[in-house]
Amino acid sequence: MKFANIVSTTQINVPQDFNVVQSMDEIIHGLPTLIIGFDLTDKLFPNYDVGNIKVTDNVYWTTKKTESRDKHNIELEWFKHFAYHELIKDINYIFVDPIQYKKKSLLKILKKIYTIPNKITYQHNDMIYIYSDKFIFGVDLKLIKYIGLDISKIKRKIINISSVFLEGADIFIEYKYIIDDMENQVRFLPYLYSIKNE
C-alpha cells in the first residue's frame, strides 16, 4: 500500500511507501501529493503561490535539489512526516487503565476488544497494543501485575483472541523508519502492519 504520491522528473530517494511517478496522470487519487520542481509545478498549476508549500487541497510542492538543496531536503522531510501523520489521524487510541476506569467502563472496553474483528496485536516491552477497526487499545503489563493479576494469563488470552500477534526486535526494525517519523509512537505498529499486509 502507498501512503502518498511524489511527482518528480528527477530521481527521489524515499521509502517504498511513496508512489513516485513522473506525471499527475499516474498518482493515486485521494493521497497527499508532492510535486518536485518549480517548472513542473508552474506547468501543472500556473497560478500557484510560489511562496506557499500548499498548491491546492492535498497537493504540495517543493524545489528540486538543483534549485535549492536546503529547501528541497527540509520540505521533502516535512512531506514524509505529514503523509505518515495523515495516515494515522483517524485512529483512536484507548489506554486500558484498570486503576482509573470504573468497572463499568472497563467491561465496556473489554467487550469492544473481544468483539472487534481481525485483531492485530504487538508487544513492545511491557506494553501490548491491540489494533482493529480504527481503534488501538494499550495494555500495560506492569500495571496489570501491580493490581495483582497474572500477566502470563492475560497475555495468553490476548494472543488467543488475536489474528496476528507480533513481538520482538525484528518487527520493530521493519517499521522503525515510519515510527521515527511518528515521534516514536510504537502503538501504531499493528495498524501499519495491517495496512501493509492487506
**So what's the pLDDT on residue 161?**
96
How sure is the predictor about 1, in pLDDT bands with cuts at 50, 70 and 90?
confident
**So what's the pLDDT on residue 164?**
96
Lowest mean pLDDT among 135-144, 149-158, 174-183: 174-183
Mean pLDDT of 87-95: 95
**So what's the pLDDT on residue 61?**
98
Cell numbers given for 13:
530517494
**So what's the pLDDT on residue 142?**
94
**So what's the pLDDT on residue 133?**
94
Work out the number of other CB atoms within 10 angstroms of the CB of residue 61. Answer: 26
pLDDT of 198 higher than 80? no
DSSP secondary structure string, 150-181? -HHHHHHHHHHH-SEEEESHHHHHHHHHHHHH
C-beta separation of 171 from 124 below 8 A: no
pLDDT of 113 higher than 80? yes
| Percent with pLDDT over 90 in the chain | 84
**So what's the pLDDT on residue 125?**
93
**So what's the pLDDT on residue 91?**
96
Residue 94 pairs in a beta bridge with 137
Mean pLDDT of 59-63: 97
Mean pLDDT of 61-69: 96
Mean pLDDT of 20-32: 96
Residue 159 to residue 119: CA distance in whole angstroms: 10
pTM: 0.86
Work out the number of other CB atoms within 10 angstroms of the CB of residue 181. Answer: 17
Is the dihedral angle over the CA atoms 81, 83, 84, 89 positive or is it negative? positive
**So what's the pLDDT on residue 86?**
94
Measure Cα distances from 154 to 17, 34, 70, 148, 151 in Å.
35, 45, 50, 12, 5
Residue 160 to residue 174: CA distance in whole angstroms: 24
**Please, what is the angle between helix 69-88 and helix 169-181, to 10°?**
120
pLDDT of 76 higher than 80? yes
Place of cell 512531506: 79
